[in-house]
Amino acid sequence: MDLWYTEKQTQAFGITAKVRETLVAKTTEFQHLAVLDTEEFGRMLVLDGMVQTTVRDEFVYHEMITHPAMLTHPNPRKVAVIGGGDGGAIREILKHDSVERAVLVEIDGEVIAASKKYLPEISSGLEDPRVEVLVADGLQHVREHKAAYDVILVDSTEPVGAAIGLFSEEFYRDLYEALTPQGVLAAQTESPFFNQGIIAKSFRGISGAFPCTRLMLTSIPTYPSGLWSFTLGSKSNDPLTVALDKAQVLSTRYYSASVHKAAFQLPPFVESLIRG
């Protein structure tokens, strides 16, 4: 029997993957959680019906949410990931020798457990001694930590359910306060085809809190429309002009110094979303 999984990315458009096996399908305290083994993209983590990551294309997202922000800081020692329970961003953070402590603040412990069990290639970094895993509310954690982190990555789901607050102006101001003087924020900010309002609003919110705000684009085949954005907020260094020598020593498959520079070049229809 053929089994196919469809994510309805909008009311009228979706993505469909042929499924070899359903490894997990359950409702946690916070959301519906599934891990599917798909034929084309390998194992896939799905939360509330939305594809979060797949073994085959996760490197693009996790490298791009992590390295541009990490290289924008001259010496990132303490780093936090808000959300990101699959551990992919943590794995990338640990590639930077300067890192002494990486804190994962994930609200749903079952996402961490399922990722450890079924997505070892993505979650492996969670066992590293530099990593502290907290099953906690990221909003509260950020509010309660002042000048505590050099880099914070907001590796959230879409702004629905528990993640709504992670796209608010108040949260962006709290992130600013939680960062050290040269601190850098990177947040995933959705698709310029399907989520234009979110890009505009998060860019406005981050610009309201940070002196330097930059939008980046990346191609991620399993995400809505395949074109995805991240927004960086930086307290003192501009991600566009920062030195990228350290990019050479990172072992990456998508990120490089030239990809870093290219990612900030925006087509006019995307530029117009943030210059309104």
Give which of 63, 14, 15, 74 is closest to 40, Cα–Cα.
15
Q: Which is nearer to ligand AG3, 136 or 242 (CB)?
A: 136
Report the C-alpha gap between 106 and 82 in whole angstroms.
6
Asked if 69 touches ligand AG3 (CB under 6 A), the answer is: no
CB of 50 to ligand AG3, least distance (A): 4
State how far the alpha carbon of 173 is from the alpha carbons of 176, 185, 222, in Å: 5, 11, 31
Tell me: does residue 115 bind ligand AG3 (CB under 6 A): no
Q: Which is nearer to ligand AG3, 163 or 212 (CB)?
A: 163
Helices 169-178, 196-209: axis angle to 10 degrees equals: 40
- Please select the residue that binds ligand AG3; options are 68, 76, 88, 125, rule is CB under 6 A: 88
Q: CA–CA separation, 276 vs 151, rounded Å?
A: 28
Query: Which one is catalytic: 57, 86, 150, 155?
Result: 155
**Using the rule CB under 6 A, is 229 a contact of ligand AG3?**
no
Task: Report how far Cα 135 is from the mean position of its chain's Cα atoms.
Answer: 17
Specify the stretch interacting with ligand AG3 by CB under 6 A; choose among 72-80, 154-162, 207-215, 242-250: 154-162
CB of residue 222 vs ligand AG3: minimum separation in angstroms?
7
Q: Please compute Rg for the chain using Cα positions.
A: 17
Residues 195-224 binding ligand AG3 (CB under 6 A) are 223-224
Cite the beta strand spans of the chain per DSSP E: 4-10, 13-27, 32-38, 42-47, 50-54, 78-83, 101-106, 131-135, 149-155, 179-188, 212-219, 227-234
User: Residue 152 in contact with residue 179, Cβ under 8 Å?
Assistant: yes
Work out whether 51 is an interface residue with ligand AG3 (CB under 6 A): yes
Q: Which of residues 161-200 bind ligand AG3 (CB under 6 A)?
A: 188
Residue of 148, 155, 212, 259 interacting with ligand AG3 (CB under 6 A): 155
Q: How far is the CB of 208 from ligand AG3 (least distance, A)?
A: 23
Pick the binder of ligand AG3 from 5, 9, 126, 260 (CB under 6 A).
9
Closest CA to 132 of 150, 112, 158: 112
Task: Indicate the residue type of 269.
Answer: F
Residues 6+ apart with CB under 8 A from 170: none
Q: Which is nearer to ligand AG3, 52 or 231 (CB)?
A: 52
Based on the residue annotation, tell me whether 155 is a catalytic residue of this protein. yes
**172 versus 223: smaller Cβ distance to ligand AG3:** 223
By CB under 6 A, name the binding residues for ligand AG3: 7, 9, 50-53, 61, 84, 86, 88, 155, 157-158, 188, 223-224
Any idea which residues carry the catalytic annotation?
155
